[in-house]
Amino acid sequence: MSLNFYQRHRNLEPILKNDFYDDQGQTVYKVHTPAGLNRTTTISKALNDNSLTDTVGHDASATSLDEGLQVAVNEESVDDSTGLNTNSESSIPTSPTPGILPGAHTNFVYIAQIDWRVIKSTKIRFGDGRYSGREVLAKEFFKKQQLGRGYVFTGEDGKEYKWHLDAIVSTKVKPYIPLTSNDTSKTPIATFHRGNLLSKKDPSRLEIFPEGQHMMDEIFVTFIYIEQKRKEAGEY
């Protein structure tokens, strides 16, 4: 069963200024970026539920916001025509209506910041994990690929994962960008499905498969970075 996180707002910067909600319509992640040249993106996550398979640092400060959290899952997998070792055809879930769960918690905790730089290297700060409390250069966090256009990083579990930007898949519905394990198995970890700009019922969504649900925050932070780099490269 997969977890889906849908983009709530349609704006000029859907990656850097948006909320992402789950299959119950409840906000799970918030991404805030002020205007300016050298900007800092702050990524925060809703607190309150033990059903999340990922964890966040207990010492991070929480901010009161207006949405709650309840994560649900739905059965779904990806139809991948690139040979990236998927096992079943994808079904497109019906997007839930964003809302607020009665009685839900409203606290969000900081999980990462990204300092975007035009000339110098972009920096990433994580609120938890091995990089907690210090900055890491994006060019050091992501390993360069000699061939193709992939972004490889090492997860908290010590394994390598790769966003396959050189294998953007165009299905009969819409394109998607896969994240897999960086080994011969190419196990599907997550997928970003581009939505239909003409339909409010079909927003873009990040799908995280069971194999990646132990590292949801890492996936989400790297997803924000990768998608913004794609936009800067004019691939939107």
Convert the pLDDT of each residue in 136-146 to its tens digit: 999 999 987 76
Tell me the percentage of the chain whose pLDDT exceeds 70.
66
Compare 149 and 104 and report the one with higher pLDDT: 149
pLDDT at residue 154 in the model: 96
- Tell me the pLDDT of the chain averaged across its residues: 77
Compare 147 and 17 and report the one with higher pLDDT: 17
Print the domain residue range for 44.
3-232
Q: Concatenated DSSP letters for the chain?
A: -BEEEEE---SS-TTTSEEEE-TTS-EEEEEE--SSSS-EEEEEEE---TT-SS---TTSPEEE-S-------B------TTSS---S---PPPPPPP---TT---EEEEEEEEE--SSSPPEEEESSSTTBTSEEEHHHHEEP-SSSSEEEEE-TTS-EEEEEGGG-EE-SS-EEEEEEESSTT--EEEEEEP--TT-TTS--EEEE-GGGGGGHHHHHHHHHHHHHHHHHTT--
pLDDT at residue 77 in the model: 41
pLDDT at residue 68 in the model: 34
pLDDT at residue 11 in the model: 78
Per-residue confidence band for 179, with pLDDT thresholds at 50, 70 and 90: very high
What is the domain count for the chain? Answer: 1
pLDDT at residue 118 in the model: 84
Per-residue confidence band for 186, with pLDDT thresholds at 50, 70 and 90: very high
| pLDDT tens-digit series, residues 97-113 | 555 444 455 699 999 99
| pLDDT tens-digit series, residues 22-72 | 999 999 999 999 988 889 999 999 986 544 444 434 444 433 333 333 333
